[in-house]
Structure 1
Amino acid sequence: MMYQAYQLQSDLISPLRLLAQHLSATLWLRQTEGTLVRKMAAACDVLSRLRLTHSRPPYNIQQVQTGERMHPVREEAVLTLPFGTLLHFRKEGAEAQPPVLLVAPLSGHFATLLRETARTLLQDHDVYITDWHNARDVSLRHGGFSLDDYVSYLMRFTEAIGPGSHMVAVCQPCVAALAATALMAEDDHPAQPRSLTLMAGPVDCRVNPTEVNRLATSKPIGWFEKNLISHVPLPHAGFMRRVYPGFVQLSAFMAMNPDRHRQSFHHIYDHLLAGRTEEAGVIQDFYEEYLAVNDLPAEFYLETVAKVFQTYDLPRGVLTWKGRTVNPAAIRRTALMTVEGERDDICAVGQTVAAQDLCSSVRPYLKTHHVQTGVGHYGVFSGRRWNQQIYPLVRDMIHRTM
C-alpha cells in the first residue's frame, strides 16, 4: 500500500505544482511591476520544484575538449537489456583512447548522477556507462534482477566493449565490479579489465562503520522486506513488480541532513528575489538531478543489504555468483586502484582499501591507493578535488596499464 499511497498523493498534488510552474513563468514576465510580484514568482518557482520525477534526466554532454581539439559527443546504445543499457559517449573524430566502463550505482538515483565523472573521464578516454533503467518501467515478463544479475550485466557489458577495457566503479557497485573482475580473471576471459578503480565503495563494511552501516545492521533482513518493499502500482509498465521505491531511498538520504535541504530551497528563493538567477540555477540544477528517483528491483536491494552490509560476504570469502564462489585472489593481471574520501560519512576510510588485501595475487607495482583529504562521499567523484587531484591519478594509472 505504500507505493499506492505515494502515487495517489502525487497525482492529487500534480495540478497544484503545474499551476505554480505556470504562475511562476507568467509572473517573471511582469517582475518589473514591484517587489510583491517578484516574491510571488520566486515562491511559485520553489513550490513547482518540490516534486519527484521518475525519468532519467539528460546527460547533456554535448562536446568535450581533448588536447587542443573540441569534439562533439553523441550517445550511442551499444547493448540494451531489460534492466540496463550499455551507453557509449562517442567522441566524433577523436583518436583512439583507452575504453573505460563507468559503473554507476543502482541506489535510488539514475546514472546521470555521474555526469560530471563521465565528462571528466571523456577528456582522455573512450567512455561507456551502465545506464540503469527504472524498475517500475520494466514489465514482469522480464523476471527479477538480483545481485547475481548485476554482476552478470557487468560481465556482458565488458564483453561488449571488448579486450583492453578499464573499469571504474563508484560507491555501491564496487563489490559487484570486483566480483565480475574476479570471475573473468578466473576464467582467463580475454575481455577481463586491464585496470579496476574502486571509488568510495563498501568493500568491507566491518571497517570503521558509518551511520549508514549501523542502520543496515540494526534490523533483520525480514524487517527491510516487510517495511521497505512495495509493489509498483498502475499505470506503470512494471505493475506489480516488487521494488524498493526510489522515493523511500531519497527520503532516507534527505532525513540525514534536513536542515541543509531546507536552507537550499530558501537560497533559491533569496537568489531569485535578488535577481541572482545564475546562483539560483546552480541549486536548481542540483535538485533536478537529486529529485529524479529510480526504483530498485526488490531482489537486488535485499541481497545487497544482506550480503554487503549485514553478512559481509565478499571480505569473508563466501560471496557467490550463481553458486560459484567469488575469489578476488584470482585477479593477477588487472591493475587495482582504490580511492577514499577523508570525510566520507557513507563509505568511511578503510572500507574500500580492503580490496587491496583481497586481491592478494596482484603485484604491488600494479596496486595504488589514494585518500583524498577534505572531501566527503560525493567529493570523491565530483567537484574541484575530483577534477584537479583525484582524476589525474586515475588517468595516469589507466594509461600506464594500456
Structure 2
Amino acid sequence: MKLPGRSGRRRQNSSQKFKPCKERSSMSTLFDPIQVGDIELANRIVMAPLTRNRSPNAVPTALTATYYSQRATAGLLITEATAISHQGQGYADVPGLYAPDQLAGWKTVTDAVHAAGGKIVVQMWHVGRISHNTLQPGGAAPVAPSAITAKSKTFLINADGSGTFAETSQPRALELAELPGIVEDYRKAARAAIDAGFDGVELHSANGYLIDQFLRSGSNHRTDAYGGSIENRARFLLEVLDAITNEIGAGRTGIRISPVTPANDSSDPEPQPLFTYVVEKLAAYKLAYIHIIEGATGGPRDFQQGDKPFDYAALRSAYKHAGGKAAWMVNNAYDPVLAETVVAKGEADLVAFGKLLLANPDLVKRLRERTELNTPDNATFYGGGAKGYTDYPALA
C-alpha cells in the first residue's frame, strides 16, 4: 500500500511556482520519450502507486476509470497496489486482480486510459502480515515468512461506512509447501492483468509487504531455504519474478524496492549488501524498469538503516556492472526541480510522482508550462467518492 498521505511529496502551495534547472540541449528532459522494455512512453513522468480505498468489494468502478484516464498524459501510470489473491488483501476497498468482476472493472480502466493516449501497468500486491483477520478468507490469520506481528496498521470500513485504522493481526508463518501456491497466484495475476488490457505489471517488493518481509532479517526468522542468508531470503522474490516473466515477458515487467524504508515495520541492519545482491540478480532479467523508493517512504530522503547512509549511486552502479539495462525509476520527495535535475544528469531515467499527480491530473502540462500546482486535500485521500479524487481542476 502506497499511502498518499505518506507519499513524500513536499507540499505544494497553490501559488507555488518553480524555476527550471539549467540544461544543455544534449541532456535528457522529463518530457523526452523513452522505451521502457516493451513499453514506449511519451515522457519520463510517472504516476506513483497510490492507495485510494475506492474499490468496494475489491472491484474498480467507473470513477476509477475517470481517475486514471484524467492522468493519462503522464508517460506511465502505475495503479494503486492491487491484491493478487484474497489472501493477499490487507486493506478495505482496495482493488483485486483475482476475480472476474475485478478484472472486468480493470478492463474499463485500461480501455479509458488507452483511449486517452496513456500507458498503464498494475502494481501486483500480496500484503503478507500487513492485514487484519476480518479481511482474510474465513477470518483466518494473515500469512508471513515468520509469525511476527508488525507494528503497523491497516484500514477497515466500519458498519456505518466510515473508515478507521486498526492494528494488524497476529500472522502465522507460511509452510514451505504453501510457497509454490503463492508463486502461482502471482503468475495467474500477471496473466490476468495482460488479459485485462494492462501494458505491463509492477511487482510490489517494497514497503514491508510479503516479498519485502522475506527479504529482511527483521521479519524473516526462517531456518529453511527461504531464511538466514541473503541468498535464501531473496529466493522467494526471484521465484516470483521467474513465474511472472516466463508468463508475460520481462519487457512488460517492472519491480519496486525500498532499501531502507521503515514502512510497515520493515527493517534490516545491513540493507546495502542485501539490495546490492537483489539488483545484481535483477540484472539477469531484461526488465522494463526498476523502481527505487529513496529513503523512508513518505519521509526523509536521507533516512538510513544500519550504521551508514545508503548509497543509491552505488546500487545503480552494481546493477549496471552486472549487466542490467532496465530503466531506473526514482521516487520519494521529488519536486519538479529535483526531478528535472536527476533526469538531466542521467542519474535517473524516470521520476514517479505521488501527491503531485493525485492533485494535478494535468501535471505534465503544468510542469512543461511551469504553472501553479493544486494543493492536495489530505482529508479525502482514503475512501469516499469523487471529492478529492476526480474533481481536482485542470488548467483551462
Q: Which is higher, the Rg of structure 1 or of structure 2? A: 1
TM-score when normalising by structure 1: 0.34
TM-score when normalising by structure 2: 0.34
